[in-house]
């Protein structure tokens, strides 16, 4: 076994273990962290396939931003695990049926000779000056520019939709207006009142 093979088996076994942990761990925060680990390992696998741009982007976007917000929400919600497990027994048979069906479909599809490992051409390693990032960029901005720009539009839409659904000014909330606070002058706030002294009765 070469060094790369050892690496591959290390990363992929960690990937499988952590992916399993995501669904089996009882604590949702632990699950989310297991997912982070899973992302890491898949990024490492991609890195070994010379897809360094995708690997780093996976870490940057999913681990660095998406999962942080995920954790944010999971920690805030304080999910009641006992209640979520209530229907487990009743739903288990259906779940098993669906899982078996899915597995059957997958087996049927991937068992054919089309996706057999032997039929896949072994990728030729690239020269040292090969830049995955540059190649991807060239593809994205020429051949696939239309769907790529559309993806940008979808993201813009997601922003608009999220703001439309969540932003609301509640009645009666009080806001500070620092720009007004800064320009107040003494005359606006202080009133000198002359109180004449009175003789003690």
> What is the closest distance, in whole angstroms, from the C-beta atom of residue 192 to another protein in the complex?
31
- 109, 116, 126, 135: which one binds another protein (CB under 8 A): 109
Which 8-state DSSP code applies to residue 128? Answer: T
Q: Is 100 in the site for another protein (CB under 8 A)?
A: no
Query: If 0-12 CB within 10 Å is exposed, 13-18 middle and 19+ buried, where does residue 42 land?
Result: buried
Which 8-state DSSP code applies to residue 157? Answer: H
Are 52 and 40 spatial neighbours (Cβ–Cβ below 8 Å)? Answer: no
- 81, 94, 153, 190: which one binds another protein (CB under 8 A): 153
For the chain, the C-alpha Rg in angstroms (whole number) is: 29
Only one of the segments 8-16, 57-65, 117-125, 179-187 lies at the binding site for another protein (rule: CB under 8 A); that segment is 57-65
**Alpha-carbon distance 47 to 61, whole Å?**
16
> What is the closest distance, in whole angstroms, from the C-beta atom of residue 84 to another protein in the complex?
17
Are 48 and 7 spatial neighbours (Cβ–Cβ below 8 Å)? Answer: yes
Buried b (16+ CB within 10 A) or exposed e, 48-61: eeebebbbebbbee
- 33, 34, 35, 38: which one binds another protein (CB under 8 A): 33
- 1, 82, 164, 182: which one binds another protein (CB under 8 A): 164
> What is the closest distance, in whole angstroms, from the C-beta atom of residue 198 to another protein in the complex?
44
- 10, 17, 49, 65: which one binds another protein (CB under 8 A): 65
Among 144, 136, 143, 145, CA closest to 50: 136
Residue reference for tokens 């969540």: 166
Q: Is 96 in the site for another protein (CB under 8 A)?
A: no
Interface with another protein in residues 130-149 (CB under 8 A): 131-133, 142-147
> What is the closest distance, in whole angstroms, from the C-beta atom of residue 151 to another protein in the complex?
6
**Alpha-carbon distance 62 to 70, whole Å?**
10
Which stretches of the chain bind another protein, using CB under 8 A?
3, 29, 33, 36, 52-53, 56-57, 59-60, 63-65, 68-69, 71-72, 75-76, 105, 108-109, 112, 114-115, 131-133, 142-147, 150-151, 153-154, 157-158, 160-161, 163-165, 168, 178
């Amino acid at each position: 076994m070469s060094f790369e093979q050892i690496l591959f088996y290390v990363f992929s076994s960690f990937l499988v273990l952590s992916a399993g942990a995501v669904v089996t761990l009882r604590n949702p925060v632990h699950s989310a962290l297991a997912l982070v680990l899973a992302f890491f390992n898949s990024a490492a696998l991609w890195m070994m396939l010379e897809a360094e741009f995708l690997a780093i982007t996976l870490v940057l976007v999913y681990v660095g931003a998406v999962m942080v917000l995920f954790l944010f929400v999971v920690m805030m919600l304080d999910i009641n695990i006992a209640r979520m497990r209530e229907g487990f027994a009743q739903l288990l048979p259906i779940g098993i049926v669906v899982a078996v069906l899915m597995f059957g479909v997958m087996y049927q599809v991937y068992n054919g000779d089309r996706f057999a490992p032997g039929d896949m051409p072994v990728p030729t390693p690239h020269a040292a000056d090969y830049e995955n990032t540059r190649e991807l960029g060239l593809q994205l901005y020429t051949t696939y520019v239309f769907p790529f720009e559309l993806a940008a539009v979808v993201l813009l839409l997601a922003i608009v939709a999220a703001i439309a659904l969540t932003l609301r000014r509640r009645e009666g909330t009080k806001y500070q207006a620092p720009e007004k606070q800064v320009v107040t002058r003494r005359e606006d706030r202080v009133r000198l009142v002359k109180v004449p002294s009175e003789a003690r009765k």
